[in-house]
Amino acid sequence: MERSEKRLKERLRVCVATCNRADYSKLAPIMFGIKSHPEIFDLEVVVLGSHLIDDYGNTFRMIEQDEFDIGSKLHTIVRGEDEAAMVESVGLALVKLPDVLQRLAPDILLVHGDRFDALALATAAALMNIRILHLEGGEVSGTIDDSIRHAISKLAHYHAVCTRSAERHLISMCEDHSHILLAGCPSYDKLLSAHQRDDYTDIIKSWLGDDVKEQDYIVALQHPVTTDIKNSIKIYELMLDALISFNKRTLVLFPNIDAGSKEMVRVMRRKGIEQHPNFRAVKHVPFDQFIQLVAHAGCMIGNSSCGVREAGAFGTPVINLGTRQTGRETGENVLHVRDADTHNKIYHALELQFGKRYPCSKIYGDGNAVQRILKFMQSIDLSEPLQKKFCFPPVKECISQDIDHILETQSALAVDLGGTNLRVAIVSMKGKVVKKYVQLNPKTFEERIELILTMCKQAMADAVHLNCRILGVGVSTGGRVNPQDGIVLHSTKLINEWSSVDIRTPLSSALHLPVWVDNDGNCAALAERKFGHGKGMENFVTIITGTGIGGGIIQHNELIHGSTFCAAELGHIVVSLEGPECMCGSHGCIEAYSSGLALQREAKRLHDEDLLLVEGMTVNNKEQVNAIHLINAAHLGNSKAESVLHTAGTALGLGIVNILHMINPSLVILSGVLAAHYENPVRQVISQRALLSAQGTKVMVSELEDPALLGAASMVLDYTTRRTY
């Protein structure tokens, strides 16, 4: 008997408080987990808020249907659905909660999310020295919800978060990292295992009618924005107008109890939604059935967190209206219409999204949240003092996309700093050079920066008339670059006075745009990854064959920079101990054999020895001998020129064989003006010199006309957008 009593005393007494249908969907999986371990946990359930209101479906009944014993029902809602009623409801809850919490004396109180009811729970528990475990803190959405969520986080002692970003936000808010669990969303445990029920067609028909097919209907769920009620009601009205025009069967759920909900219901009834043949208006759908309806919808529209969270697990296309979920992490299935100020804009979003399918996203969970949370609760040391610890790390912001970016052509300013010319271009998301500007590259740093700014400002002015939205500036330059800081560390000899130079700061400050900077070889690789032969390839190498030899390496879809930003200096792979001197000061580099300058040097040598020109060739006195003359001579049968080109091709091939043996890419892309001349020699050397396992590596010539500009643009387009059209 004594042992049994001791065991009961050792059980962790957990109180789960649920306020509405939405938070119960997150708390229920945890409640089932707690209930399945009676030897470890003692569960107490408290129900309050809109669960107990008939107008919102009396959703406490679904808790009873799930066979949970509700220990306390607290009527805490003051009707009125305006700001004052919300405040009064918090006050009423604070009056009623102390007696319940004192009677239950839980070891841990579970509080979910960002509702005003949850704020009352956290406030009462914190003042009564009850440990609080807050679910889904650290997220960023918008409106008053953010303030309430973060306030609860500051009151809570422990946190179970859904995403790595939310975890970082809490750490940045000074929460103790050891008290934060990256669990994932508990509702995903049920979503990922249950959304493929065999009877989903029956569920669709029961809510929307027998004639409705899968992916041919819309789920609409729009809540008030308490910090901007008037505008949120306007958006709601525009959404309903757009849905009426779109003419698809639509399930409309009533809004939650926040201030402004009465006005939204009036709008719905004024438009006759409840009697409209295309609409089904309901107050509540059981969560397991709601999963099926969202999973198989042609689109979901509104501002519910379900749209930006749970719907991603199914790849359901979502249109998020207004600012209520601003800042939330989303999968590529979500299209934001933050300035939903016209019927046409929302209708256009419906046209873009309806009927699409996207890859399933697991941003918010992998189906194992509950077991992590249960284990986390067991690890809580009840003898530990309640006083919180604090730290002060930096905050990182997330970037999302808005429909206004789509209605304009998303574009980047690309800058290519060459040895002779300075080029600036407006480049669209699809890699089209909308407009290009070319000027001779000045000699001094000050003149170059001034010219870049002048050309960029001109391009930005032209972009307005071209309906292009400039998202940022990408700069491609020769030499060794620190892309993290936007600094050219060491330049090539072709670009004098361009070393240890901060390019990012003056451009960003003057243009008020984010700026990315990288080496031209790396930019060529980025261009191939986004627009060229490297698209969809995890591992490949790009070799630039031009005035010099450069390149870039993509490994596991990422550009390799190296510890001192010296990776992919492919032109300086040594292929001969006794070779000619290279511009880097070494001997026998690929660049000393195969670059345009190397071929020019050999052409000049042959010309000086009267060994270059053959029948059909002329070089006038004013013309400088260059690589093209050497190539033409070889094509016309000049054996000396052929020998030089053979040596150059062999040197490049040997260097590429070394690359194959070091990093084993699946593709080698030759880029630049000399690429076509080196394709066959490189393939021959690979077949003769490479290991058998590397001989099958593909060698292709780039089809991109401006790899430096396109690569510079891709830095901007890849980092500032999350969707591609």
- Quote the Cα angle for 327-328-330, to 5°: 120
Name the token pair of 196: 């493929």
Spatial distance between the Cα atoms of 267 and 254, rounded to a whole number of angstroms: 11
* Alpha-carbon distances of 677 from 124, 164, 553, 635, 681, rounded to whole Å: 77, 49, 22, 11, 8
As annotated, the active-site residues are 520
DSSP codes, 82-121: SHHHHHHHHHHHHHHHHHHHHHH--SEEEEETT-HHHHHH
Helix intervals (H) in 105-196? 116-127, 143-155, 164-172, 186-194
Place of tokens 């509405």: 20
Tell which residue, 559, 538, 571, has the closest CA to residue 659.
571
Beta partners for residue 439, in sequence order: 422
Burial of 90 (0-12, 13-18, 19+ CB in 10 A): buried
Six token digits for residue 590: 């690929």
Q: Which residues are annotated as a binding site for Zn(2+)?
A: 572, 582, 584, 589
Annotation: binding site: 572, 582, 584, 589
| Long-range own/partner contacts, residues 274-279 (CB < 8 A, 24 or more apart) | 276/244, 278/243, 278/244, 278/247, 278/248, 278/249, 278/250, 279/243, 279/249, 279/250, 279/251, 279/252
Residues 6+ apart with CB under 8 A from 545: 594, 595, 596, 652, 670, 671, 672, 673, 674, 675, 678
* Long-range interactions of 554-563: CB distance < 8 A, separation 24+: 554/525, 554/528, 554/529, 554/665, 555/663, 555/665, 557/529, 559/518, 559/522, 559/525, 559/526, 559/529, 561/483, 561/522
Neighbours of 447 (CB within 10 A): 12
Q: Which residues pair with 574 in a beta bridge?
A: 589
Rg (CA), the chain: 32
CA-nearest of 556, 526, 560 to 427 is 526
How many CA atoms within 13 Å lie on the side-chain side of 456? 28
Nearest residue to 225 (alpha-carbon basis) of 369, 322, 299: 322
Straight-line distance from the first to the last Cα atom of the chain, in angstroms, rounded to the nearest whole number: 70
Task: Indicate the length of the chain as a whole number.
Answer: 725
- d(CA 311, CA 305) in angstroms, rounded, equals 9
Check if the beta carbon of residue 634 is closer than 8 Å to that of residue 681. no
CB atoms within 10 A of CB 113: 23
Phi/psi at 711 (nearest 5 deg)?
Answer: -65, -40
